[in-house]
Structure 1
């Protein structure tokens, strides 16, 4: 389930993301630095406790950030980390979760500025499908015993040149699986991309490829139902017999003939 920050953590995250939005050139370089900082802080629990200790002066924590990371990260990343440690967090873990979200947001902001946000949302969805559909690949990506570097190398070899650098960066970070499975984490990253435009992601299963008019009508209908713009991620599934299956978040509206027939069979079987 997607982790929602609450209380002081939500306020601090808003402040951090405002700094990300103010960076002149968000993107892969910035996100890579933020993800590296997340890994370093996660790997040093004592440091994370100090950086989130409400009794420690904010200026002292910002100075510690400069001391630890000043020679490793650029000025933009340092400013984001300093904004993060100046805030208050419900738990030490929320700090690094927030910084990971900041890294994702940096990727999304760059894609949006380049006019590539629609493509990024679709690529993230397709990467998730690719991994889920290959049992061997999924097994390696989900194996906690395989190092993050090995997973990064595997995904880079598999996806480099086939998806954008932005989508690859999100896939590699999702493989770290800090907040859940690879698929769940990557889905959450996709939600972050959609949220930038106040949109929802809808997974649509149909028996045949929809034409532009059908996509437009479905998008309009879902937008009217949910009160938000909707981005469609369409799966052509030959097992679907008539109708359409739509998933938006945790809500599934399945009107496929195959599902109705299966329901009827179960009812007849008692």
Structure 2
């Protein structure tokens, strides 16, 4: 995303935060959840209307006309909060129409995660999304069905919905179902990992993806978490999966940084030196 769109997203996010922050304590959670769901619905509508989404992001048209079009289309069909966010978004300048839609998706996700935080469910949502990513990654048939571009979106969502029904929070289900409908070229497991990372960001934490040759004990996990927290100067959420092919040790991935302390990694490095 170019600077123009990043700045537009920042301004629209500020409007969204102010609008959701002004809700009274008794309705704040419901307002955030409703806003997230409505933003997802708006994006789904625009995904199927190329001419419309282009018109809403057309820089050659005045901001006033774009705002009026958004109000004409959505006022009365979504809440005042969602309408305010939409009007702010379309009145800004975007590098390309897809940036507008992707930003509305991001703001929808943030609103739902805000609702989860209000209900003290953010830790649970993050864990559920991470585990979902691992389940999908370990099941090639499921992953293929969810990523098949030739399969209708509603069919993929029905499949995932059956898997999740009654097993996860409402926020996790909403985030996962929306995500699987807009995968484009992303792998489903990666999309769910991204959502788990977004949940961690909302909690102001770093996510460490750890592959271990053997299960970690509670004390080992606590020590690793404390070490990473000291190293990065920020709370770290550690997600662990067992990979016996590592032979021994760990591989820690934080963002683009990889710390390979595994037996397999050491063997690979030794082979390189011997060539």
Q: In the alignment, does 2:200 pair up with 1:194?
A: yes
Whether 2:250 is the aligned partner of 1:244: answer: yes
- Equivalent residue in structure 1 for 2:175, among 167, 170, 173: 170
CA-CA distance at 1:94 after TM superposition: 0.6
- Determine the C-alpha separation between the residues in 1 that align with 2:184 and 2:197: 14
Q: Post-superposition shift, 1:155?
A: 0.7
Residue 205 (structure 1) aligns with: 211
- The range that moved more, 183-192 or 104-113, is 183-192
Q: Which residue of 2 aligns with 1:6?
A: 2
State the distance in 1 between where 2:147 and 2:207 align. Answer: 24
CA deviation vs aligned residue, 1:185-209 (integer Å, no higher than 9, x gap): 3333222222223322111122343
Residue 129 and residue 153 in structure 1: after superposition, are their counterparts in 2 closer, same or farther (change >3 A)? same
Counterpart pick for 1:256 among 262, 265, 268: 262
Could you tell me which residue of structure 1 aligns to residue 64 of structure 2? 59
Aligned equivalents of 2:214 and 2:166: distance in 1? 28
Ranges in structure 1 where 5+ consecutive residues have no aligned partner:
none
Q: Could you tell me whether the CA contact under 8 Å between 2:70 and 2:87 is conserved in 1?
A: yes
| Greater than 4 Å deviation, 4+ residue runs | 265-268
Equivalence for 1:136: 141
- What do the CA deviations read for 1:96-117 (whole angstroms, capped 9, x no partner)? 0110001110111111222222
- After superposition, where does 1:56-95 map in structure 2 within 5 Å? 56-95=61-100
- Once the two structures are TM-superposed, the CA of residue 118 in structure 1 deviates from its matched residue by 1.7
Match in the other structure for 1:44: 49
2:147/2:183 contact within 8 Å kept:
no
Deviation per residue, 1:192-248 (Å, 9 max, x gap)? 222223322111122343344332321222123233321111113344433211111
- TM superposition score normalised by structure 1: 0.89
Q: Deviations over 1:166-195 (max 9, x none)?
A: 111111122123554123333332222222
Whole-angstrom distance in 1 between the partners of 2:111 and 2:261: 38
Q: How far did residue 133 of structure 1 move? A: 0.9
Aligned position for 2:118: 113
Shift of 1:150: 0.8
SS at structure 2 position matched to 1:253 = strand
Matched positions, count:
265
Structure 1 CA distance, aligned partners of 2:2 and 2:60?
Answer: 20
CA deviations over 1:132-178 (Å, ceiling 9, x no partner): 11111111101001111111111110111111111111111221235
Judging changes above 3 Å, is the alpha-carbon distance between structure 1 residues 187 and 215 closer, same or farther for their aligned structure 2 residues?
A: same
Deviation for aligned residue 1:87: 1.4
TM-score by length of structure 2 reads: 0.87
Contact 1:17 1:105 in 2 (8 A): no
CA contact (8 A) 2:214 2:248 kept: no
- Three-state SS of the structure 2 residue aligned to 1:233 is strand
Residue 258 and residue 55 in structure 1: after superposition, are their counterparts in 2 closer, same or farther (change >3 A)?
Answer: closer
